Amino acid sequence: MSSPELVASSRMTKLSRRGSPLKGNWFVAITLLILGFLTFIPVLMLLQLSFKDMQQMADSMWLPVLPLNPNNYAKSFNLMVPYMMNSVLFVLGTVTVSITFSTLSSYALARYNFPGREFFYMAILALLMIPGVLTLITSFVVVVSVGINNSLLGIWLPMAAGAQAFQIIVLRTFFSSLPPELFEAARIDGASELRMLVRIALPLSTPIILTLVVLQTLGVWNEFIWPIMVLSNPDRYPIILGILRLSQLITARDPGATYAGYVIAGLPIFVMFMFTSRAFIRGLTSGALKM
């Protein structure tokens, strides 16, 4: 046997011992497909329940049936719209306040060398060790003392403050990694500090900021405890608390509309993530969240 034939034979022998790479890839793909399907089973069950009426649930609770009942969504949507608008206001205000102040704070901690900088940074880092539930009572006392309970400020400010520690640490890590030559060149050209922040730091940190916006939007949208503590007027409840009222109003006679309300409550978050998923993943893999 010639030398090339010997080399080919030895390679085939090694492949046969190690097993086919294609076979291993198929095994991984099938395993991930099964796990993904199991993850989505609750979502699929929620969707098929949201299209059933009372009789269909009594006859076949866990299996799809025909005809579908889209009227469930019409009933739930009319009741959920006010609570959805409240949640949108809570998200817009909280995210705007939080991102604005965390950006300014993290930029100062990253680009300025002032006395006590490391102490302040370590103090902010220590805040991540404190569970948020331990500060609920003190936050409520402060809100009531200031007189902003049952108002938008009572929702915006405490929830924005609760996200500051994580956001400052993430943004400060990213701003510190930016080349100082960019800022030195801009300073020589006469740019102010605010202009350098707006024209240099913020455009480069867009994926990171979008990632933080998505994370905080999800947190504010699903927040349950704080709104029910601060808001005494049920008409100002967010959509999560609106689902409870929806359940009390129509569960007994039309449970399918309640499940439709669950779908409606999660749909805005799904749509937001659908449009921001690329930036979200780019922000996670850009290095700022690897601390």
| Confidence label for 18 from pLDDT (cuts 50, 70 and 90) | low
Q: Quick one: pLDDT at residue 23?
A: 53
Provide the terminal-to-terminal Cα distance of the chain, rounded to the nearest Å: 57
d(CA 106, CA 69): 51
d(CA 86, CA 237): 7
d(CA 113, CA 116): 9
d(CA 268, CA 261): 12
- Give pLDDT tens digits for 122-166: 888 888 888 888 888 888 999 999 988 888 999 999 999 888 888
Our count of domains for the chain comes to 1
pLDDT score of 14 more than 60: no
- Is residue 39 situated within a structural domain? no
d(CA 288, CA 275): 21
Vertex 160: Cα angle to 126 and 130 (nearest 5): 25
| CATH, residue 273 | 1.10.3720.10
pLDDT above 70 as % of the chain: 87
d(CA 192, CA 260): 52
- Is residue 118 situated within a structural domain? yes
Q: Quick one: pLDDT at residue 97?
A: 93
- Give pLDDT tens digits for 71-130: 888 888 888 888 999 999 999 999 999 999 999 989 888 888 888 888 888 888 888 888
Lowest mean pLDDT among 51-60, 174-183, 234-243: 51-60
Across the chain, what does the average pLDDT equal? 81
CA separation (Å) from 249 to 38, 47, 225, 244? 32, 20, 21, 9
> What range defines the domain where residue 178 resides?
71-285
Q: Quick one: pLDDT at residue 62?
A: 78
Q: Quick one: pLDDT at residue 15?
A: 46
- Give pLDDT tens digits for 174-232: 888 888 888 888 888 887 888 888 888 888 888 888 889 988 998 899 888 899 889 88
- Is residue 163 situated within a structural domain? yes
- Tell me what the mean pLDDT of segment 1-14 comes to: 50
Question: Which has the closest alpha carbon to 174: 290, 4, 34?
Answer: 290
| Confidence label for 291 from pLDDT (cuts 50, 70 and 90) | very low
d(CA 163, CA 178): 23
Q: Which residue would you say has higher pLDDT here, 215 or 247?
A: 215
Tell me the one-letter amino acid at 20.
Answer: S
Vertex 162: Cα angle to 159 and 164 (nearest 5): 115
Where helices occur in the chain by DSSP H, the ranges are 3-18, 21-49, 54-59, 71-111, 117-127, 136-146, 152-177, 180-188, 193-196, 202-204, 206-221, 225-230, 239-250, 255-285
- Is residue 50 situated within a structural domain? no
- Is residue 27 situated within a structural domain? no
- Is residue 183 situated within a structural domain? yes
- Is residue 41 situated within a structural domain? no
Contact (CB, 8 A) for 166 and 129: no
- Is residue 265 situated within a structural domain? yes
Give how far the C-alpha of residue 51 lies from the chain's centroid of Cα atoms, to the nearest Å. 28
